[in-house]
């Protein structure tokens, strides 16, 4: 159980919109942010973000909240930069620092290749928006080189780095992805057997992958969102809760270790720039081709305190349903730890506002999925027995000793 450090070492406009707003309209992803600012200014701005957005205090707060893992996304350009890229360097220094912080606090880390050469899905979180060339040219070979370098760097830190995810949400053909997964798994295993390999389910669900097996110790990573479709975002809250619960049996039946590596408390797509910088939201009808469902209000850019009572109820209940469902197998990681103002997505803010359970087993809406919630360990009853009572019970074993001697022994034990 854990949380993603989204938008830290691979920037996303909706998580830190201030950085992209300050750069002007042309900065819509990390690639164009670096192009717009130029190398020197981009180096200063982005490395300042690395140094300040996530710190030791965040890791300590994550550990205090009961988490045991953090998932950190990073772009290929931090590990294996390619000629002509505008990206700047510095992320690896902070990834190394993260490993040190995690070790101090007893946390484990999952490192995820969030951006691959050529762009694997066209989302701004892959580095380049609307670019999907991964799987063509030399991009697979370049990605494998990146995974090899990443594994080699952290093979000696397997006490902390427990999982490497080969790629995040690829949209290339299934044949290309499976071939890459086979090769990537083999490359990691050629370096170490102490780090588990994770593959992304491509939003297919676990059953599709039951017969795919490049080797032992494989983790299937599911990502579950119900808001990036006009029909889904128009659901009633009760439908959100019910659909979340429905994932529990599906996950439990997986033949692989299965985690839900991304999910959130969002019942809308209202967060500023969530659908891309300058794009609107399906929920309030401002996204092209969408129909109005409701008012976004503070869900666009605000705080948990500014949310309506109904929003707070829905987020808390939705979080609980998802925790119950996603705990049915190997575990979960919430997306994401912090944002500049997206309260449906911000675990830190939700913890502080009572919308995310503390302790993690706490339930205001227990049993809503129809199967047991992962509850706290039952209290251990410790029998407190005084030395006097113990010795008095032993008296019968030594009938030859006088009552006077026994009373003296008991008196010493009681003093």
Confidence grade of residue 308 (pLDDT, cut at 50, 70, 90): very high
Give the per-residue pLDDT at 86: 98
Phi, psi of 371 (to 5 degrees): -135, 160
What is the 3-state secondary structure of 271-333? CCCCCCCCCCCCCCCCCCCCCCCCCCHHHCCCCHHHCCHHHHHHHHHHHHHHHHHHCCCCEEE
Q: How far apart are CA 12 and CA 371, in angstroms?
A: 36
Strand, helix or coil for residue 192: coil
**Number of CB atoms found within 10 A of residue 309's CB:** 7
Task: Report the pLDDT averaged over residues 249-265.
Answer: 97
Q: How far apart are CA 105 and CA 62, in angstroms?
A: 10
Greatest extent of the chain over all pairs of C-alpha atoms, in Å: 96
Phi, psi of 261 (to 5 degrees): -80, -10
Task: Report the pLDDT averaged over residues 155-161.
Answer: 98
Q: List C-alpha distances in Å: 222 to 132, 144, 247.
A: 21, 22, 10
Of 229-238, 330-339, 376-385, 392-401, least confident by mean pLDDT is 376-385
On the question of pLDDT at 402 being above 80, the answer is no
Give the per-residue pLDDT at 374: 75
Task: Report the pLDDT averaged over residues 238-243.
Answer: 98
Confidence grade of residue 391 (pLDDT, cut at 50, 70, 90): very low
Bridge partners of 415, per DSSP, are none
Phi, psi of 197 (to 5 degrees): -95, 135
Q: List C-alpha distances in Å: 218 to 174, 194, 212, 368.
A: 18, 12, 10, 31
Give the per-residue pLDDT at 373: 79
Domains in the chain with CATH codes: 2-352 (3.20.20.80), 383-415 (no CATH)
Give the per-residue pLDDT at 376: 41
Bridge partners of 328, per DSSP, are none
Q: How far apart are CA 137 and CA 86, in angstroms?
A: 20
Catalytic status, residue 169: yes
Give the per-residue pLDDT at 6: 98
Question: Among the options 12, 30, 165, 169, which is catalytic?
Answer: 169
Task: Report the pLDDT averaged over residues 346-373.
Answer: 96
Q: How far apart are CA 148 and CA 142, in angstroms?
A: 10
Please answer whether residues 40 and 333 qualify as being in contact, where contact means their C-beta atoms are separated by less than 8 angstroms.
Answer: no
Predicted TM-score (pTM) of this structure: 0.89
How far, rounded to the nearest angstrom, does the alpha carbon of residue 215 sit from its chain's CA centroid? 24
Question: Among the options 30, 165, 262, 320, which is catalytic?
Answer: 262
pLDDT digits (tens, 9 = 90+) for 3-61: 999 999 999 999 999 999 999 999 999 999 999 999 999 999 999 999 999 999 999 99
Listing DSSP states for 242-256 in one string gives HHHHHHHHHHHT-SS
What percent of the chain stands above pLDDT 70? 90
Written as six digits, the tokens of 383 are 């029998």
Task: Report the pLDDT averaged over residues 138-147.
Answer: 98
Alpha helices in 56-173 (DSSP H): 56-64, 76-79, 91-105, 139-154
Task: Report the pLDDT averaged over residues 273-291.
Answer: 97
On the question of pLDDT at 406 being above 50, the answer is no
Task: Report the pLDDT averaged over residues 154-162.
Answer: 98
Q: How far apart are CA 103 and CA 157, in angstroms?
A: 9
Phi, psi of 5 (to 5 degrees): -100, 60
Q: What is the DSSP letter of 193?
A: S
Mean per-residue pLDDT over the chain, rounded: 92
Give the per-residue pLDDT at 378: 38
Give the per-residue pLDDT at 390: 39
**Number of CB atoms found within 10 A of residue 378's CB:** 6
For 222, residues 6+ apart whose C-beta sits below 8 A from its C-beta are 201, 205, 206, 247, 251, 258, 259, 260, 261
pLDDT digits (tens, 9 = 90+) for 166-204: 999 999 999 999 999 999 999 999 999 999 999 999 999
pLDDT digits (tens, 9 = 90+) for 88-115: 999 999 999 999 999 999 999 999 999 9
Strand, helix or coil for residue 155: helix
Give the per-residue pLDDT at 410: 40
């Amino acid at each position: 159980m854990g949380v993603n450090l989204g938008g830290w070492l691979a920037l996303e406009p909706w998580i830190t919109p201030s950085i992209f707003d300050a750069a002007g309209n042309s900065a819509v992803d990390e690639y164009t942010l670096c192009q717009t600012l130029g190398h020197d200014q981009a180096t200063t701005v982005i490395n300042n973000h690395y140094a300040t957005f996530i710190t030791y205090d965040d890791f300590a707060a994550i550990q205090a909240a009961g988490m045991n893992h953090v998932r950190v996304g990073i772009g290929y350009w931090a590990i294996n930069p390619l000629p002509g890229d505008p990206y700047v360097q510095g992320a690896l220094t902070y990834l190394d620092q993260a490993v040190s912080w995690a070790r101090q606090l007893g946390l484990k880390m999952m490192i995820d290749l969030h951006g691959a050469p050529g762009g694997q899905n066209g989302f701004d979180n892959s580095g380049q928006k609307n670019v999907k060339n991964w799987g063509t040219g030399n991009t697979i070979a370049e990605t494998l080189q990146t995974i090899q370098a990443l594994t080699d760097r952290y093979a000696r830190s397997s006490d902390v780095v427990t999982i490497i995810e080969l790629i995040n949400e690829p949209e290339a053909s299934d044949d290309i992805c499976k071939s890459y997964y086979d090769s990537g798994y083999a490359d990691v295993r050629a370096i170490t057997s102490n780090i588990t390999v994770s593959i992304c389910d491509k939003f297919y669900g676990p059953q599709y992958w039951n017969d795919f097996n490049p080797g032992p110790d494989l983790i299937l990573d599911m990502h579950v969102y119900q808001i990036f479709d006009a029909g889904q975002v128009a659901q009633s809250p009760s439908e959100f809760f019910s659909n979340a619960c429905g994932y529990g049996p599906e996950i439990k039946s997986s033949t692989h270790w299965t985690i839900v590596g991304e999910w959130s408390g969002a019942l809308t797509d209202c967060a500023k720039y969530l659908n891309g910088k300058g794009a609107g939201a399906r929920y309030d009808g401002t996204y092209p081709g969408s129909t109005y469902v409701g008012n976004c209000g503070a869900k666009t850019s605000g705080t948990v305190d500014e949310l309506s009572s109904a929003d707070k109820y829905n987020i808390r209940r939705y979080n609980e349903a998802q925790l119950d469902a996603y705990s049915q197998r190997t575990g979960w990681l919430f997306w994401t730890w912090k944002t500049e103002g997206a309260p449906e997505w911000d675990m830190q803010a939700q913890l502080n506002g009572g919308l995310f359970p503390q302790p993690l087993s706490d339930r205001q809406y227990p049993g809503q999925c129809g199967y047991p919630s992962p509850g706290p360990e039952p209290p251990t009853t410790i029998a407190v027995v005084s030395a006097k009572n113990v010795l008095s019970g032993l008296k019968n074993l030594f009938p030859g000793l006088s009552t006077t001697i026994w009373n003296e022994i008991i008196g010493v034990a009681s003093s």
